[in-house]
């Protein structure tokens, strides 16, 4: 129910509540009211779409109630995903992941030899709920940690036990899942140079900007002898035919990949298909430990364990969302990084 007076802010309790099993359309409409970006953005007649304000009290709890609900009464998985994505985007915006106009950001990535690599990433405006159009804090933290992870053999260094019979000379094959703007994968590519190749993947809507960002950094990638490809890889779609051992990857990277209840299962299924069974095969992930997503993090850990993977190394660290913003609005975010390998072979 919306207040009759559009100048009066409404309360979050006036929005459709999960226990009443509202339709997908009602939920998406309510979630669009909670957007923090200007409602008139990009429109010629802003007054035509002026939105009612919502009292801030209780909004985070409202969004969490949607994210943690299975939404079982909605007709299709697509609708459920759309609602979860919109709720996750609203929560992200309130956590400092503010929607901003298109911009290019510059990131300095430390190397093991003291030099810093400079990466430029284009971030289109967050015009829809495509979270992959922005670069998130855990991907930055993982990128600046990569050089030390890459330097601690045997953690990320393939040995002859990694598919030795097929390609004794081959370079390390890496895959990034949910690469977004590509910060982690492009950093990895530059840091490893000719000793690795990496395939950066995401959903179809995200891949064009991902490819654009690979092209934007071609000078650095050429200088370091990196090999980067980009493409679509949707975790919810099992690959057919299943990848052969030669097609599987020695290393899988992912940053901030969990924000809907389906994600842990999909992500671990994807790891199942694409991770090499070699002794030194590794999965490296970093994700924020936000209250709303802790069940997903726990689910992910359990599923990785059930698959036969164990944590080789892990830690927690703090970063800041929108760390380049000068408005003082940056929020502290606790993040968890982890390196996984096959447990029976450790």
Ligand X SMILES: C[S@@+](CC[C@H](N)C(=O)[O-])C[C@H]1O[C@@H](n2cnc3c(N)ncnc32)[C@H](O)[C@@H]1O
User: Which residues sit at the interface with ligand X, rule CB under 6 A?
Assistant: 131-132, 135-136, 138-139, 178-181, 183, 202-203, 206, 234-236, 255-257, 266
* Angle of helix 294-307 versus helix 263-274 axis, rounded to 10: 30
CA 269/CA 193 separation, integer angstroms:
29
Contact between 62 and 12 under an 8 Å Cβ cutoff? The reply is yes
CA 320/CA 46 separation, integer angstroms:
32
State both tokens at 249: 């990857």
CA 172/CA 275 separation, integer angstroms:
12
In the complex, the smallest distance separating the C-beta of residue 264 from ligand X, rounded to whole angstroms, is 12
First to last CA, the chain: 57
Task: Give the nearer residue to ligand X in terms of CB position, either 24 or 180.
Answer: 180
Among candidate residues 182, 183, 103, 102, the one with its CA nearest the CA of residue 143: 183
In the complex, the smallest distance separating the C-beta of residue 91 from ligand X, rounded to whole angstroms, is 11
Q: How many C-beta atoms lie closer than 10 Å to residue 25's C-beta?
A: 12
Q: How far is CA 222 from CA 10, 120, 131, 189, 203, in A?
A: 54, 15, 29, 10, 26
CA 29/CA 10 separation, integer angstroms:
14
Task: Give the nearer residue to ligand X in terms of CB position, either 203 or 310.
Answer: 203
Task: Give the nearer residue to ligand X in terms of CB position, either 34 or 89.
Answer: 89
In the complex, the smallest distance separating the C-beta of residue 132 from ligand X, rounded to whole angstroms, is 2
Task: Give the nearer residue to ligand X in terms of CB position, either 65 or 95.
Answer: 95
Task: Give the nearer residue to ligand X in terms of CB position, either 237 or 242.
Answer: 237
In the complex, the smallest distance separating the C-beta of residue 19 from ligand X, rounded to whole angstroms, is 27
Task: Give the nearer residue to ligand X in terms of CB position, either 202 or 250.
Answer: 202
In the complex, the smallest distance separating the C-beta of residue 92 from ligand X, rounded to whole angstroms, is 7
In the complex, the smallest distance separating the C-beta of residue 269 from ligand X, rounded to whole angstroms, is 10
């Amino acid at each position: 129910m919306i207040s009759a007076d559009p100048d009066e802010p409404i309360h979050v309790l006036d929005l459709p509540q999960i226990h009443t099993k509202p339709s997908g359309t009602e939920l998406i409409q309510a979630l669009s009211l909670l957007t923090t970006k200007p409602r008139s953005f990009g429109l010629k007649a802003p007054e035509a779409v002026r939105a009612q304000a919502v009292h801030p009290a209780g909004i985070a709890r409202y969004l969490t109630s949607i994210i943690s609900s299975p939404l079982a009464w909605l007709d299709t998985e697509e609708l459920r995903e759309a609602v979860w994505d919109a709720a996750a985007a609203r929560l992200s915006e309130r956590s400092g992941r503010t929607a901003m106009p298109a911009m290019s950001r510059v990131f300095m990535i430390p190397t093991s030899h003291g030099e810093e690599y400079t990466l430029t990433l284009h971030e289109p405006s967050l015009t829809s709920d495509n979270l992959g159009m922005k670069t998130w804090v855990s991907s930055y933290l993982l990128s600046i940690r990569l050089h030390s992870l890459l330097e601690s053999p045997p953690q990320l260094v393939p040995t002859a036990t990694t598919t030795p019979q097929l390609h004794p000379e081959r370079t390390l094959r890496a895959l990034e899942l949910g690469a977004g703007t590509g910060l982690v994968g492009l950093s990895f590519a530059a840091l490893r140079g000719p000793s690795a190749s990496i395939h950066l993947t995401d959903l179809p809507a995200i891949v064009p900007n991902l490819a654009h960002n690979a092209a934007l950094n071609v000078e650095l990638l050429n200088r370091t002898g990196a090999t980067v490809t980009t493409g679509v890889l949707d975790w919810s779609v099992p690959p057919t035919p299943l990848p052969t051992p030669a097609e599987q990857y020695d290393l899988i990277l992912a940053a901030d990949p969990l924000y809907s209840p389906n994600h842990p299962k999909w992500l671990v299924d994807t790891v199942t298909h694409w991770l090499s069974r070699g002794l030194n095969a590794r999965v490296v992930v970093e994700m924020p430990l936000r209250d709303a997503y802790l069940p997903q993090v726990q689910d992910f850990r359990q599923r990785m364990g059930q698959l036969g993977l164990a944590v080789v190394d892990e830690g927690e660290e703090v970063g800041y969302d929108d760390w380049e913003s000068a408005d003082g609005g940056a929020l502290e975010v606790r993040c968890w990084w982890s390196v996984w390998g096959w447990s029976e072979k450790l």
